[in-house]
Amino acid sequence: MGDKVLKLGSVHQCNCCLGGKTLHPLVSVIDLSKADLSSHTDFKFGFYTILLGECKCEACRYGHQYYDFSDGTLICLTPGESISMKDSNNTRPSKGWILAFHPDLICGTALGANIRDYTFFSYRPEEALHISLREKQVILELLDKINQELQRCIDCYSQKIISKYIELLLDYCERFYERQFITRNEANKQIIGRFNRLLDHHFHTIQNQSADLPTIEDCAGSLHLSPAYFNDLLEYETGKSFKEYLQFKRFETAKDWLINTDKPLNQIAQELGFRNAQYFSRLFKKMTGCPPNDFRMPN
C-alpha cells in the first residue's frame, strides 16, 4: 500500500473517521455512502471488521472471477489487519457498509469462544466473498437488526443479543463461502491439480534424505493463496485437511515406489519424511492393512 496507513485503534475512532455515530463503544454499523474517504485510502483496524462493498465495479479489486456473483463483495478482517479502500484507478467505494466490533464485545460469549472457527477472517482481500443479490439482502437485514439494537439504550442484554446477531451473520458468511467453493468448482480442481504436481515434484526430486516436508505456507504461497483459504478449499474438495492430504500423498507415493522401484524401505521412509523405517512400516500397515514388504511382493 503506497499511501500512509491510518491506524484506528477503537470503534469510536473508526466512527469519527468514517462519519458513524458511537452508539456503543465496542460495536458500530457504518454507512460508507455517508463517509468522507477523500483524506485516507488505507486503514488498519484494531478490531474485527466486516466490509460489505455494494458496487459491482469494486468487486474486480478483490479477486472477482467470471464465475462469481457481482452484487456485493464481503471482506472480513481480524484486529490489526490493513486494507486499501481504493483501486488501481484511484477510485474509492461509494456504497457499502462496515461492521466494526471489538474483541471485548464477544469476550465471554459463545462467539468469543468460537471466533477462530471462522477461518475466512484469515483470508486475503483478494479471496473475498462475492455475493448474490439474495445473499446481500440477508447480510443487510442482519446489519439492520444490529443497528436497531444499537439504537436502544445499553442494558445487560445488549452484548448478548448483538453478539448473537454477529454470530448469525458469520454463520451465513460461512454458508455463502461454501456456495462460492461450489461455483468455483472447476477452478478449484485446477488448484488441486497444481498442488498434486507440487507434491509429486517435491517427492521425486529429493536430493537430501533428511529433506523437510512441505508446509502449508510453502504450498499456499506457491499457489498464490492464503494458508487458511487453501486449507478450506482442500477440505471442501477432498474432505481432507492439508495435514491429512499430505499424509495421504506420502502413502500413495510409498505404494508407487514399493511396486515400481527397488528402493529399500529405509530410503523410502527417509525421503518421505518418516523418522525411521520401523515407524514408516507401522503406519503403512495401519493405513493399508499389510506391511510394506508384503505390499511390495503380494502373495
Among 109-118, 136-145, 169-178, 276-285, name the one with the lowest average pLDDT.
Answer: 276-285
- Residues of the chain with pLDDT > 90: what percent? 73
Q: What is the structure's pLDDT at 35?
A: 82
Tell me which of 272 and 35 has the higher pLDDT. Answer: 272
The verdict on 48 and 175 lying in the same domain is yes
The verdict on 153 and 260 lying in the same domain is no
The verdict on 158 and 254 lying in the same domain is no
The verdict on 258 and 160 lying in the same domain is no
Per the DSSP assignment, residues forming a β-bridge with 51 are 75, 98
The verdict on 246 and 279 lying in the same domain is yes
- CATH at residue 15: 2.60.120.280
The verdict on 71 and 194 lying in the same domain is no
Find, among 137, 147, 142, the residue nearest to 20 by Cα: 147
Helix axes 185-204, 242-260, angle to 10 degrees: 50
Instruction: List the domain range (segments joined by +) for residue 31.
Output: 5-183
Residue type, 177: Y
Q: How many CB atoms are closer than 10 A to CB 193? A: 10
Check pLDDT > 60 for residue 90. no
Tell me which of 218 and 205 has the higher pLDDT. Answer: 218
Q: Given 138, 157, 183, which residue is the final one in a domain?
A: 183
What confidence tens digit (pLDDT) does each residue in 92-150 have?
A: 556 899 999 999 999 999 999 999 999 999 999 999 999 999 999 999 999 999 999 99
The verdict on 90 and 39 lying in the same domain is yes
Confidence band of 77 (pLDDT split at 50, 70, 90): very high
Q: How many domains does the chain have?
A: 2
Q: What is the structure's pLDDT at 88?
A: 52
For the chain, what's the residue count?
A: 299
Say which residue the cell 521425486 belongs to.
Answer: 204
- Averaged pLDDT score across all residues of the chain: 90
Region 47-65: mean pLDDT is 81
The verdict on 45 and 150 lying in the same domain is yes
Q: What is the structure's pLDDT at 130?
A: 95
The verdict on 162 and 268 lying in the same domain is no
- Buried (b) or exposed (e) across 180-192, using 16+ Cβ within 10 A? bbeebeeebeebe
> Could you tell me the pTM of the whole model?
0.89
**DSSP class of residue 79?**
T
The verdict on 179 and 31 lying in the same domain is yes
